[in-house]
Amino acid sequence: MMPKPDISNVFASAGQSQKIHHLNQRIEDLEAEINRLRTAKSSSEEKIALEGRIQELVLELANKQGIEEIAINLIDRNPHQPRRSFSKASIQGMVEILKTQGQHTPVLLIPLSSGRYLLFDGERRWRAASKLAWKTLKAVFIVTGIEADEQELHRKALSTTLHREDLNALDLAESLIQQIIYDHPDLEKHKIFIPRLLNAAMSRLERNHKNLELAEIRLASKEVQKQWIESAGFKSSEEKKIFDVILALQLNPTSIDTNIFPLLKLSKDLKTAIREEGLEGSKARELNKLSAEQLNIDEARTLKIRIHLTQRVIQEKLSLSQTKALVKETLNQHKSSKTSANQNRKFVKTIKTIDSIEVKGIQHTQLEEIRQALQKKLDEINSIIDI
């Protein structure tokens, strides 16, 4: 087993040198800048800046520590990494880069007391290298002091990933639920109800027009956020705790309620399409309308239809409006089939009813009324047949 480098002693003998002092200061400045960008408004410019600062930090750590070759089989994926979705095309693209150009940028690892390493940044490179059957990866290290603190590790990973381009809405939904539970363990028993609690609270805020304040409050200081939460009129401590986490991450609860948490209810095949093939959450929500109940067919046939249309949306790169039209057309087709089936059942029932009438014993006047009704209907049938 490859020994874990003793990061704490790498520069022990040269700790007083001016070069190391400047490197340490530079690393501290970069970490501060990364933390600022993590919580900044997630504009395209901020995302690009965050990516750049992370790469700068990696390079500065390389200058300070040197770059190590670490056995891939000693590297573990961060279980608290919010991003779980890596499309096949994305991984294959990285495979081609590594194959033709080699690894230019080291991955960022957290050394563990067990002698293994936790990925902090660079999972796509790690996955691609594994596909290439590489034995080692170039790496630099950060010493976090949070190995045993799952709550803080998850928060740091979420903060690092949150405002980057590659975190999809489904990953965000699942990670946000987990962060709420880490920050407030008593909500574990209410885990499946967290989206419903948020929705109920949002409905109440909208009735009181308090939802209009959220865009500003999410960017306010922690103290201001807490004051607002206490005065917003929430009915339970659970609601307050949910808003506390969402606002602390500078997310807008309106968007989480409307666009993010609903993805947790998606069918399994659509979640897979989001994770592996890059299907957009908004399109997945439309395709999720193709349920067995709505199509009036069994689950197996429903799944086959939904998978087929999902692949069409992905391969033909249909827009959201085109996806909506496709789903509507499919539902209408099956609605017509359902109407036709209902009519057939009604027709069969009517024939049986007529056939079951026992005419003996019916008064003459009633028999005459029946004959007139049947004759009228027979004339209608003849007129249609003769056309």
The DSSP annotation for 101-127 comes to H---S-EEEEE-TTS-EEEEE-HHHHH
The residue type found at 94 is M
* Residues 102, 211 share a domain: no
Contacts of 15 (CB under 8 A, 6+ apart): none
* 165 three-state secondary structure: coil
Q: How far apart are CA 89 and CA 318, in angstroms?
A: 18
- Residue 154: closest CA among 256, 86, 82: 82
Ordered per-residue pLDDT tens for the chain, 387 residues: 434 433 333 333 333 333 334 445 555 555 555 555 555 545 555 555 655 666 666 776 776 677 889 999 999 887 766 666 677 777 888 888 888 888 888 888 888 877 888 888 888 889 999 999 999 999 888 765 444 455 565 566 565 555 544 567 888 888 889 889 888 999 988 889 999 999 999 999 999 999 999 988 988 888 999 999 999 999 999 999 999 999 988 888 998 999 899 999 999 999 999 988 889 888 999 999 999 988 888 899 999 999 999 999 999 999 999 999 999 999 988 875 555 556 667 777 877 887 787 878 788 888 888 888 888 888 888 877 765
Domain boundary among 115, 146, 177: 146
Say if 58 falls within a structural domain: yes
Say if 106 falls within a structural domain.
Answer: yes
215/212 Cα distance (integer angstroms)? 7
Are 219 and 302 part of one and the same domain?
no
**How many domains are there within the chain?**
3
Where is the domain boundary, 263, 291, 320? 263
Domain-located, residue 381: no
- 203 and 319: one domain? no
Answer yes or no: do 52 and 96 share one domain. yes
Do 322 and 278 belong to one domain?
yes
Burial per residue of 30-39, b for 16 or more beta-carbon CB atoms within 10 angstroms, e otherwise: beebbeebbe
Is there a domain that residue 191 lies in? yes
CA dist 309 and 314 (Å) reads 9
Residue 309 structure tokens = 């249309």
295 and 254, same domain (yes or no): no
Same-domain pairing of 27 and 95:
yes
Residue-wise DSSP of 340-383 = HHHHHHHHHHHHHHHHT---TT--HHHHHHHHHHHHHHHHHHHH
Give the Cα separation of 269 and 307 in Å (integer).
Answer: 7
The verdict on 239 and 220 lying in the same domain is yes
Cβ neighbours, 10 Å, residue 43: 10
Range of the domain at 206: 168-263
Q: Are residues 13 and 116 in the same domain?
A: yes
Q: Are residues 79 and 138 in the same domain?
A: yes
Residue 195 is assigned to a structural domain of this protein: yes
Cα(189)–Cα(50) distance, integer angstroms = 36
Q: Is residue 336 part of a domain?
A: yes
A 10 A CB-CB count for 146 gives: 14
Q: Could you give the dihedral angle defined by the CA atoms of residues 253, 254, 258 and 261, in that order, rounded to the nearest 10 degrees?
A: 0
Is 380 domain-assigned?
no
Domain endpoint, select from 263, 291, 308: 263
To 5 degrees, how large is the angle CA 236–CA 237–CA 241? Answer: 125
Residues 241 and 280 in one domain: no
Do both 140 and 245 map to the same domain? no
Q: Is residue 59 part of a domain?
A: yes
Q: 69: domain CATH number?
A: 3.90.1530.10
